[in-house]
Amino acid sequence: MIHRPTTKPHGNRKDFDNIKRLFPYIWDFKGRVFLALSCLILSKIAIVGMPLMLKDIVDGLDSKQMLAMDNLESAALTLPLILLLSYGALRLMASLFNELRDAIFSRVRYHAMRGISLRVLKHLYSLSLSYHLDRKTGGITRDLERGTNSLSSILNYLVFNIFPTAAEFAFVAIILLSKYETHFAVITFTTVLLYIAFTLLVTNWRMHYRHEMNDHESKANSFAVDGMLNYETVKYFTNEEYELKQYDETLDRWEGAAVKSQASMSLLNFGQGAVIAIGVTLMMIFAAQGVVDGVMTLGDLVLVNAMMLQLFIPLNFLGIIYRALKYSLADMDMMLKLLDTKVEVKDIENATVLKVTDAVIRFDDVSFDYNKDRKILDKVSFDIPHGHKVAVVGPSGAGKSTLARLLFRFYDVDAGSISIDGQNINAVTQTSLRDNIGIVPQDTVLFNYTIDHNIRYAKFDATDEEIHQAAKHANIHDFITSLPDGYQTVVGERGLKLSGGEKQRIAIARVILKNPRILVFDEATSSLDSHSEQLILESLKEVAERHTTLVIAHRLSTIIDADNIIVLDKGKVVEQGTHQKLLEKEGLYAHLWQLQQEEETEEAT
């Protein structure tokens, strides 16, 4: 059985540091933050004021007190009415300031989500090709989605739950300590502390189930996306059952972790309910005894009861909020770990803009390896003069395509240097370097959008005429116009609706539209039939006349007109020269040529 790499749930997080990393996104709207916090405080003042008003209402309506009062009957009736209206006003104010807080803070929250999402995606674009060759696309997209949502949740929990509960607790503590005996405050504080301690202990104990759920969910999503992206390969080898089995086995482990998570949550909820019940019961016993002893009124009994219930309503949710906050921090940590991934290829501090005049390329003793145990290129040196076409050929694994990747700075060389017009490409900005190079890769991937968009991707401000002209040069215009939707035909994910040759010709049209000073063809006609290949080679020859061209070739028949042919073998330059001179040497090139001629003869037969 094939085992795909997995990622262990991470347990070493720095939640406080992660929260601090959110502040720059929040601080863009600091005025709104302060205004939202002001509304929060006003709302809590109104909420805490309601039990106080309720106490006065109950005392005002207490029959014993009314009989003891020497006031007029109308006065006794007027006072509760005013208090009742005041109670309603406080409740209205609490609702108003709550909604104002939400409305004001929404801009802060969504701006932060937008900012962190953009930063992560930008960072992913800045990572080297080696990272993207190893990545699991489905897992990354899931981590990014969960991380963005977790940011919104964390801001909601902090601003709408934790801070308000802390403020309300402070107000309740002040009232209990100032108006009643100390044991009421002691019971309240002890109950709250026990509640928080129990919540923290149990939640931290059960957090690993959530980690397992996240990990298995990411893996399952990765399997699904990977299978969909490689739909044709799955079908070629009839491995649908294998892909489904991998997906189901991962979801089975996710299901087990989810059940354990839910069971432990039920235990936590029961424990929290028990702590609250004991605390409220003790408070009511002491309050009722105070009424019996005559040191407290019925209004005081109602006040203490209302305070406790009002305090534990948010505290009850605080347990849920704490768990959700921990989960959100775990989700956000996965996203922030993407930001912490090291950028291997980056511009130097004083990188200059590449200035191309003659587009002379020089590889000077270039050495490179992907893994330390295998050298891909070993002291490779050659020049591509202005306007020349230089081809690189050799057996599979000789390092041909690596030359194009190094020229594009998808990787940095281990030793030696690559220069364009005497400028080391490591000393110029990557953007200016790639602006001057156009490439047609061997494996052409198109966006799941229209043909027009895929060609126009090289130059978004191009006119329709320029698009059509580039397509004509690539011998694809007639095919496009024969389609029902023409240039507005959607090509499918990764160009799945088109043949390999059609995709290749669209890629060629795209690079023709870009019109760079340097052209790179990485086996660009490998998917074409002989007739289409010859037509495109003529077009490319015309386009390349004004450019410096590097051709990575498998079919030697496509590069017999090259000004110089570099023959690579095991990462070293073993031969170079024109087609005719290399044949006369009767070396590796002549051997490869003979093999291909025999293959073509067999195919023709």
d(C-alpha 124, C-alpha 126), whole Å: 5
Residue 136 burial (C-beta neighbours within 10 Å; 0-12, 13-18, 19+): buried
Please check whether residue 160 is in contact with residue 102, taking contact to mean a CB–CB distance below 8 angstroms.
Answer: yes
Which of the four pLDDT bands, split at 50, 70 and 90, describes residue 482?
very high
Which of the four pLDDT bands, split at 50, 70 and 90, describes residue 574?
very high
Is the pLDDT at 556 greater than 90? The verdict is no
Dihedral sign from CA coordinates of 162, 163, 168, 169: positive
In this prediction, residue 55 carries a pLDDT of 79
Give the pLDDT confidence of 398-435 residue by residue, as tens digits.
888 889 889 989 888 999 999 999 999 999 999 899 89
Higher-scoring residue by pLDDT: 74, 153: 153
What's the mean pLDDT when you consider all of the chain?
A: 81
Which of the four pLDDT bands, split at 50, 70 and 90, describes residue 197?
confident
Please check whether residue 366 is in contact with residue 406, taking contact to mean a CB–CB distance below 8 angstroms.
Answer: yes
Q: What is the pTM of this model?
A: 0.63
State the distance between the two ends of the chain, measured CA to CA, in whole angstroms.
Answer: 42
Which of the four pLDDT bands, split at 50, 70 and 90, describes residue 603?
low
Please check whether residue 271 is in contact with residue 198, taking contact to mean a CB–CB distance below 8 angstroms.
Answer: yes
Give all domains of the chain, ordered by start, each with its CATH number.
Answer: 15-339 (1.20.1560.10), 347-436+516-605 (3.40.50.300), 446-510 (no CATH)
Give the pLDDT confidence of 349-375 residue by residue, as tens digits.
888 999 998 899 999 999 998 877 678
Please check whether residue 519 is in contact with residue 547, taking contact to mean a CB–CB distance below 8 angstroms.
Answer: yes
d(C-alpha 9, C-alpha 496), whole Å: 35
In this prediction, residue 433 carries a pLDDT of 92
d(C-alpha 300, C-alpha 289), whole Å: 12
The residues pairing with 377 across neighbouring beta strands, listed in sequence order, are 368
Share of the chain above pLDDT 90, in %: 15
Comparing 305-314, 352-361, 462-471, the range with the smallest average pLDDT is 305-314
d(C-alpha 563, C-alpha 387), whole Å: 10
Quick one: which of 465, 387, 565, 493 has its CA closest to 137?
Answer: 493
Q: What is the DSSP letter of 572?
A: E
Share of the chain above pLDDT 70, in %: 87
Which of the four pLDDT bands, split at 50, 70 and 90, describes residue 103?
confident
Which of the four pLDDT bands, split at 50, 70 and 90, describes residue 71?
very low
Residue type, position 103, single letter: A
Q: Following CA atoms 498, 500, 504, 505 in sequence, which dihedral angle do they give, to the nearest 10 degrees?
A: -60
Which of the four pLDDT bands, split at 50, 70 and 90, describes residue 340?
confident
Higher-scoring residue by pLDDT: 392, 326: 392
**Which residue carries 């696309």 as its tokens?**
137
If one counts every other C-beta atom within 10 angstroms of the C-beta of residue 482, the result is: 8
Is the pLDDT at 41 greater than 80? The verdict is yes
Give the pLDDT confidence of 199-236 residue by residue, as tens digits.
878 877 877 787 788 888 888 888 888 888 888 888 88
Comparing 65-74, 300-309, 520-529, the range with the smallest average pLDDT is 65-74
Higher-scoring residue by pLDDT: 497, 392: 392
In this prediction, residue 125 carries a pLDDT of 79
Alpha helices, H only, 62-181: 63-68, 73-126, 129-134, 137-157, 163-179
Quick one: which of 23, 50, 29, 40 has its CA closest to 96?
Answer: 40
In this prediction, residue 172 carries a pLDDT of 80
Which two structure tokens, joined as six digits, stand for 387?
A: 């306007």
In this prediction, residue 3 carries a pLDDT of 37
Is the pLDDT at 79 greater than 60? The verdict is no
Quick one: average pLDDT of 508-523? 87
Is the pLDDT at 7 greater than 60? The verdict is no
Higher-scoring residue by pLDDT: 393, 184: 393
Quick one: average pLDDT of 315-338? 74
Which of the four pLDDT bands, split at 50, 70 and 90, describes residue 318?
low
Quick one: average pLDDT of 22-33? 78
**CA separation (Å) from 165 to 19, 316, 317?**
19, 10, 10
In this prediction, residue 1 carries a pLDDT of 35
Residue type, position 257, single letter: A
Is the pLDDT at 285 greater than 80? The verdict is yes
